[in-house]
Chain A
Amino acid sequence: MMTIERKDELQNLCLRFRNDLIDLLHSIQTGHPGGSLSCTEIVTTLFFEKMNIDPQNPSKEGRDRFIMSKGHACPMLYLNMAEKGYFPKEDLKSLRQIDSHLQGHPCAHKTIGVELSTGPLGMGLGAGLGMALGEKLKNSEASIYVLLGDGEIQEGGIWEAAMAASKYKANNLVAILDNNGVQLDGTLEEIMPMGSIGDKFAAFGWNVIRCDGHDVESFSNAVDEAKKSDDKPSIIIAKTIKGKGVSFMEGKNTWHGKPIDNNEYKQAKAELGGLV
């Protein structure tokens, strides 16, 4: 159980990250706001509540791993990493700019603390499974967290990895689905309806957990439940809203990766309670 005080702290942190995200993406006029806003509570709860990680020793044996398989949401990853102390916050403004270590999609060999380069969708789950099995060979207790987009799971490789994770009883693998229901060209229903995603993963032999992806306590409890799995990999289906927190972005595929103009910026900041 999470205390009310801790819940408030995490929620305030998420609100600050949303504000910082809008500032950042407005200032650089590039990047993906929609999917970054939908995974805010997920990433923040993992980094500040759940994961055993040490920014002073980012390669420490036995640490938990986080793979942002939906790599385009990396602005939210970078905000968390900077806050955690992996790199100076002033680096953030160099995101997507030449000579920066902060690439448009996560890059493990440029950004210390990023566990795996991602961006081309569908590979993070298999890579995470490889890490999970590697940790098992080392008799480690670490968990491997893989954040998937719900559009991303249209990639066949996800289901190849789903089969394999089940075969190898990778109970230390925790997939998290940012289930915002929207992909680049439209809603999932319009572009490629996924039916019951939970039933699909259950049929592949996974432990399926559902939660409110914008409630830090609900998500935190889901992670605790996933870690109790005996012999199955787990997927947390986190119900979210694309563009969460900014009314004109919410649920809109057009805000997958659109620059924020000055008027939109003012409105977004007003809604988030931040100063312009």
Chain B
Amino acid sequence: MGKEIAIRDAYGDALLNLGKKNDKVVVLESDVGSSSKSIVFGKEFPERYFNVGISEFNMVSMSTGFASEGFIPFVNTFAVFMTTRGADPIQSIIAYDSLNVKIAGTYAGLSDSYDGASHQSITDISFVRSIPNMTVISVSDAVETAKAVEAIADYNGPVYLRLSRAPAPTIFDDNYDFRIGKGVELKNGKDVAIIATGTILHNALKAAELLNEEGIEATVINIHTIKPIDEELIINAAKRTGAVVTVEEHSIYGGLGSAVAEVLSKKCPTPMEFVGATNFAESGDYNQLLEKYGYSPRSIAEKAKMVINKK
């Protein structure tokens, strides 16, 4: 894996590049622009940057008007506020009318670690995933972030883009062929499939290395598009391995794990284990939180062995 780059920096740069290419892109922010890095766009294009202050509901409502006018609005705030305070217009206008709004929820998962559970986001995926017409994307490194921003701008419809605050090792290179709805198999092993989303993907890859040391061959799949999900890739991996673990910095109720379980229970019933949140976390160093709340490579490997035993 390559050097660590903060996802938010990659996002800010991607927005800026997009703004240079496409004058229909407008960016809305609710006073966390120096955190989300939307400010990078704002400095270059002040006339297309709308910082509306601490008013997420209004920010998301305003984006619907811009989209109705043919613009491509990117709205920005912390994921937890976006999908609670901004929830109403996300559901009842953006999704209902399939408006071309890109909803960027940053500081997702436990990545806003020191601010504590009130600022961490473990329920955003379950909310947006359940809304008709919504595409849900969760990125794992800086390259994927840049590619995803470009791809969702080219796609006409509502998208939720889940972004982390944390620096993440670079997994992909510039040749990476990112396509909405297409998962990526990073390792092909016969014993168990580890299916991950977001920056925690790199811990899934490390878990596969630990398993390998014990003679267990793991498949590792990156599901960046949680909706619509890549059913074919998931089913094939389940058929090949007969055991699946999902990994997400999100509640195990309603997120990636649930999405994978929905696919497999209908089309290829397979034993599963879930790495994710079952409770609120707390303040602390990010890596210590990941360790304590079960996201370490060792914890993921343990879950993999548990599910192998259920075969």
Contact = CB atoms under 8 A, between A and B. Distances in A.
Task: Verify that A and B bind, or say they do not.
Answer: yes
Interface of A: 65, 107-109, 115-120, 122-135, 137-138, 144, 156-157, 160-161, 163-164, 167-168
Nearest to A168: B50
B47 A116 contact: no
A127 B68 contact: yes
Contact of B69 (A108, A125, A135): A135
A160 B96 CA distance: 22
A123 B61 contact: yes
B93 A117 contact: yes
Contacts of B68: 65, 108, 115-116, 127, 130-131, 134
Interface in B48-86: 48, 50, 52-53, 55, 57-71, 73
Given A117-B96, A137-B47, A157 B57 contact: yes
Contacts of A129: 58, 61-62, 65
- Which of under 10, 10 to 19, 20 to 34, or 35 or more describes the interface residues of B? 20 to 34
Nearest to B73: A130
B92 A130 contact: no
Contacts of A168: 50
B52 A119 contact: no
A127 B88 CA distance: 13
B127 to A, nearest CB: 16
20 contacts: A107-B97, A108-B68, A116-B97, A118-B93, A122-B57, A126-B57, A126-B60, A126-B61, A127-B61, A127-B65, A127-B93, A129-B62, A130-B62, A134-B26, A134-B71, A137-B26, A161-B62, A163-B52, A163-B55, A164-B50
B61 A161 contact: yes
Given A120-B88, A134-B69, A157 B61 contact: yes
B89 interface: yes
A132 B68 CA distance: 11
A130 B274 CA distance: 41
Contact of B57 (A119, A137, A160): A160
Nearest to A138: B69
A137 B62 CA distance: 14
Nearest to A136: B47
Given A109-B96, A160-B55, A160-B57, A130 B88 contact: no
A32 to B, nearest CB: 18
B98 interface: yes
| A65, A115, A124, A137, most chain B CB atoms within 10 A | A137
A126 B62 contact: yes
A127 B71 CA distance: 13
Interface of B: 26, 47-48, 50, 52-53, 55, 57-71, 73, 88-89, 92-93, 96-98
Ranked nearest first, the 6 interchain pairs of A and B with the lowest CB-CB distance are: A130-B65, A126-B61, A134-B69, A160-B58, A160-B55, A131-B65
A235 B177 CA distance: 51
B208 to A, nearest CB: 44
A164 B69 contact: no
Contact of A120 (B48, B69, B92): B92
Given A117-B92, A131-B69, A138-B69, A164 B97 contact: no
A156 B96 contact: no
Nearest to B101: A130
B46 to A, nearest CB: 12
B58 A133 contact: no
Contacts of B88: 120, 122-123, 157
Contacts of A123: 57, 61, 64, 88-89, 92-93
Given A123-B92, A134-B70, A164-B50, 7 more contacts: A109-B98, A120-B88, A127-B62, A127-B89, A131-B65, A157-B61, A164-B58
Contact of B53 (A138, A156, A163): A163
Contacts of A118: 93
A120 B57 CA distance: 12
| A116, A127, A131, most chain B CB atoms within 10 A | A127
A127 B64 contact: yes
A47 to B, nearest CB: 19
Contacts of B65: 116, 126-134, 144
A130 B63 contact: yes
A204 B76 CA distance: 25
B93 A109 contact: no
A161 B65 CA distance: 12
| B63, B68, B89, most chain A CB atoms within 10 A | B68
Contacts of A119: 92
Contacts of B71: 134, 137
Nearest to A61: B70
Contacts of A157: 55, 57-58, 61, 88
A119 to B, nearest CB: 7
B19 to A, nearest CB: 13
Contacts of B52: 160, 163-164, 167
Given A117-B92, A134-B66, A164-B52, A126 B58 contact: yes
Contacts of B60: 126
Contacts of A108: 68, 97
